[in-house]
Amino acid sequence: MGTSWNEEGTSFYSLSCQDRRHSKHIHDNVHGNIYLDPFFLKLVDTEQFQRLRDLKQLGLTHMVYPGAVHSRFEHSLGVYWLAGEAVHTIKAHQGSEINIERNDIRTVKLAGLLHDVGHGPFSHLFEREFLPRVLKGSKWSHEDMSVRMIDYIVDAHYIEIDSAILKNVKEMVLASSETASQKIMSEKRFLYDIVANGRNGIDVDKFDYIVRDSRACGLGCNFQFQRLLETMRVMGDEICYRAKDYLTIHKLFATRADLHRTVYTHAKVKAIELMVVDALTLANDELSISASIHEPAKFCKLDDSILRQIETSDKQELKKARDLILRIRRRDLYQFCNEYSVPKDKQENFKDITPQDIVCSQENGGTTLKEEDVTVSVVKIDLTRGSSNPLESIKFFQDYESDYKFPIRDDGISHLLPTFCQDMIVRVYSKKPELVGAVSEAFENFQLKTYGMKAQVHDTPEKKKRRK
């Protein structure tokens, strides 16, 4: 027997948001008790959703921040819960004027629950670094895969759900992706901005991971999403915010950027990621890792344990990949040489820098570098909209007596806010510790040729250059 969206005793129609007698509660370390009624529990108790327990939310970050071992399982439950809180709040304050129905609430919650079910291993490394290397021109995204996985789960477990509702769920999951439908014509367009907001980036996905990631890494977080959840208001077809909450919203984007700088793209985290990408690439032909993206049945068996599978194999074909993973275990990492921030006026026409660029900048007479000795990482950190300010896309209102919505310019609030919204950082690593000096010198020469000066803030420490 399958599970039905409208099944008596388990359906939305027999449960109000206050009636939790038939719900299962899970205690979450961020949001407290999270309640799942039998319909949502049926989805959670599938092997496809349970797979998320084996995907660390922050990928390899736990090798630098040991507490960052939380998974996409608890994050998905958190987004499910906040999605429900958001739409319940709107209904409580504006239900009579915008007619939020019970199916609307469940649709948004379902999108929140399943938004990451198609995620690959090691956070975003899988789709942004590994796949483009082994599948040239790959445009695969976890959002697209989540949509395919949703269909797969519904079919495999005989879950009865109205096709129009399922379509809305999938459109909500895709709402902030590059493949988001441009034809979402709904009288309740604002519902599509709750889980993954493609219009201005304020969504409950960020509300959850910013607080959850900060806590797991032992960092303070003074962004309070509750303030925005409690005071937001639907005006026209979009969610608007009180003008007095402008700085709270700025803090959302600033905190996210700070997490990217200090945690997600930490220089040592990136070193480990570069090594894992190399290991996965070496193992790809033997294990057909990239081939799994074409079939949901195979993809749902792919998780972070792929590293363990490689290092415990005795196959000769995996020896090079095994050796790299062993280096990671022994902390014999690619060595960070130096970095520089790309000047603002050079970012728009920035051309990717390759190991060849660095190697070709070495001077004659010294150690001869090869391309395979060097790896380059270009890190982009922004406020979610590249060099654009996401706050320019947000509408505000003065108070609850006003029906007028308006944008706010940064300089109308404070002159201390940044005038540029994107950093681009070029980092160079040596794959061998004894080559740090030669790679660092070549990197400096590259900067001199490119910008007429050394753009890096300081020289590579002599102690690191002398390491053997």
Active-site positions read 142
Give the distance, in angstroms, between the CA of residue 252 and the centroid of all CA atoms in the same chain.
Answer: 15
Question: C-alpha angle 401/403/409, rounded to 5°?
Answer: 105
What are the residue ranges of helices labelled H in 161-245?
163-174, 204-216, 225-231
Q: What is the tally of helices (H) and strands (E) in the chain?
A: 19, 9
Amino acid at 24: K
CA distances from 84 to 91, 108, 312, 361, 410 (A): 10, 7, 43, 55, 31
Beta bridge partners of 27: 33
d(CA 146, CA 170): 8
For residue 308, give both structure tokens: 């363990």
CA dihedral (70, 73, 79, 82) positive or negative = negative
Amino acid (one-letter) located at 69: V
Would you mind telling me the total number of residues written for the chain in this entry?
468
Distances (CA, A) of 329 to 56, 326, 374, 452: 18, 5, 21, 40
Cα Rg of the chain, angstroms = 24
Q: Which residues pair with 56 in a beta bridge?
A: 71
d(CA 464, CA 434): 9
Residue 457 CA to residue 444 CA, distance in Å, equals 11
3-state secondary structure of 430: strand
| Half-sphere exposure of residue 373: CA atoms within 13 angstroms, side-chain side | 21
CB 334 within 8 A of CB 372: no
Cross-strand partners of 372: none
